[in-house]
């Protein structure tokens, strides 16, 4: 692959060609349904993408790391020690790598030395396709492999979430890291985030394509608002726990939520809680429909998901709403919704294969007319998870 050849050449130029140089990949993800359910103890249904972050790396004999990212070449070589790391919320690409090194230490694993690395990604920046989780899982598998650390891939996912929560200050759930770590070609992952029980479900889309549409916008409130939504959901749970013994919002079905919703005295928390409960149930129903080959029901549930994210969780935005609403108008579109954290980023659509070109043209034209912006399209193929490329 050209990208691997490029980073290998860059590595040899900057750090030398001798020694045991190894190559790695960690994918981004797209979530088909199940948004903002992962930290609420619900189910999610993402798949890993063929787009992600690549790296070549080699062990060092001292405590230093030297890293170069071809996507951020102006940063030059980042050089630091793996010892004495302290959490920060800067959100720079290498902070996600450092967070994983820190997390390994916090969890009692010994990293004996540093390493040299050159990396490059082909995920579009700010698109909500989990570039940060991809970077975290890339670091996790590099360290796991270079230093023969005995840690499972599900635990690599947990490690990535722990580092992002506690080193980088973003209170994300487990979905993004789990999808990057545990992806399987041709499959999505049906994950119970409360129990970390999962199942690979074949997508079996013979005449359909998964199309990601990038709005090319990312609104600045995303980071703080993400953490606010988590607090508001936790508030809803605390109100419910006054009247019912539950551990998470994901423990409730629709009827049970109806019984306890009047206990939630804050109207904002009520909306957040309603989304978390109903989105979890939508996800369970959608996966069941997919297993039965009922894509039409899956598509209806995708639309309901978007409306709930727009109205109850309030994480959509004008651009995402336009993309989804225009998609719903097109014959041959089975379903469409925003995906990821929202406030910009992407929609995901299931589109009949013979409609894809019409879909792209009509969506692009309508989006440009209504926003003055251009969007981008990617055909999503479900890929394997993070690991070393032999």
Looking at the annotation, which residues are catalytic?
176
Which of 217, 227, 226, 223 is closest to 321 using CA atoms?
217
Asked if 152 and 161 count as a contact pair (C-beta separation under 8 A), the reply is no
Asked if 337 and 350 count as a contact pair (C-beta separation under 8 A), the reply is no
DSSP letter for 124, please: P
- Give counts: helices (H), strands (E), the chain: 11, 12
CA distance 114 to 167: 19
Q: At what angle do helices 131-146 and 93-106 cross, to 10 degrees?
A: 50
CA distance 248 to 329: 36
Asked if 338 and 275 count as a contact pair (C-beta separation under 8 A), the reply is no
CA distance 137 to 237: 30
Asked if 103 and 166 count as a contact pair (C-beta separation under 8 A), the reply is yes
Q: Give, in order, the Cα–Cα distances in Å from 114 to each of 73, 98, 139, 175, 221.
A: 21, 11, 12, 28, 36
Name, in order, each residue with C-beta under 8 angstroms of 126's C-beta and a sequence gap of 6 or more: 218, 344, 345
CA distance 144 to 115: 12
DSSP 3-state of 81: strand
CA distance 355 to 327: 11
Q: What are phi and psi of 188, to 5 degrees?
A: -100, 170
CA distance 338 to 155: 28
């Amino acid at each position: 692959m050209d990208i691997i050849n490029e980073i290998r050449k860059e590595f040899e130029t900057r750090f030398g060609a001798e020694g045991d140089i190894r190559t790695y990949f960690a994918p981004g993800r797209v979530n088909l349904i199940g948004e903002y359910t992962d930290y609420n103890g619900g189910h999610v249904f993402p798949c890993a993408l063929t787009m992600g972050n690549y790296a070549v790396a080699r062990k060092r004999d001292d405590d230093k790391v030297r890293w170069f990212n071809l996507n951020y070449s102006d940063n030059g070589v980042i050089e630091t020690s793996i010892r004495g790391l302290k959490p920060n919320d800067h959100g720079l690409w290498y902070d996600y790598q450092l967070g994983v090194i820190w997390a390994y230490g916090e969890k009692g694993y010994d990293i004996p030395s540093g390493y040299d690395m050159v990396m490059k990604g082909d995920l579009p920046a700010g698109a909500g396709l989990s570039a940060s989780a991809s970077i975290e899982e890339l670091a996790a598998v590099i360290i796991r492999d270079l230093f023969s650390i005995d840690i499972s891939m599900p635990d690599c996912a947990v490690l990535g979430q722990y580092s992002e929560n506690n080193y980088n200050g973003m209170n994300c759930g487990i979905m993004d890291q789990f999808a990057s770590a545990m992806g399987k070609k041709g499959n999505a992952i049906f994950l119970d985030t409360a129990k970390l029980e999962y199942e690979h479900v074949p997508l079996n889309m013979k005449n359909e394509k998964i199309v990601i549409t990038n709005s090319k916008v990312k609104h600045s409130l995303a980071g703080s608002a993400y953490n606010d939504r988590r607090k508001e959901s936790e508030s809803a749970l605390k109100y419910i726990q006054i009247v019912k013994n539950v551990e998470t919002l994901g423990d409730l079905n629709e009827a049970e939520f109806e019984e306890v919703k009047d206990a939630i005295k804050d109207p904002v928390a009520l909306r957040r809680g309603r989304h978390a409960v109903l989105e979890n149930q939508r996800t369970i129903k959608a996966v069941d429909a997919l297993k039965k080959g009922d894509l039409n029901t899956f598509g209806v549930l995708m639309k309901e998901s978007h409306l709930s994210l727009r109205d109850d969780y309030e994480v959509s935005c004008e651009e995402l709403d336009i993309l989804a609403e225009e998609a719903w108008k097109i014959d041959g579109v089975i379903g469409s919704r925003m995906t990821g954290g929202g406030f910009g980023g992407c929609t995901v659509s299931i589109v009949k294969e013979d409609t894809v070109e019409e879909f792209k043209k009509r969506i692009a034209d309508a989006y440009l007319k209504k926003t003055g912006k251009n969007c981008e399209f990617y055909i999503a193929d479900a890929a394997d998870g993070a690991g070393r490329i032999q």
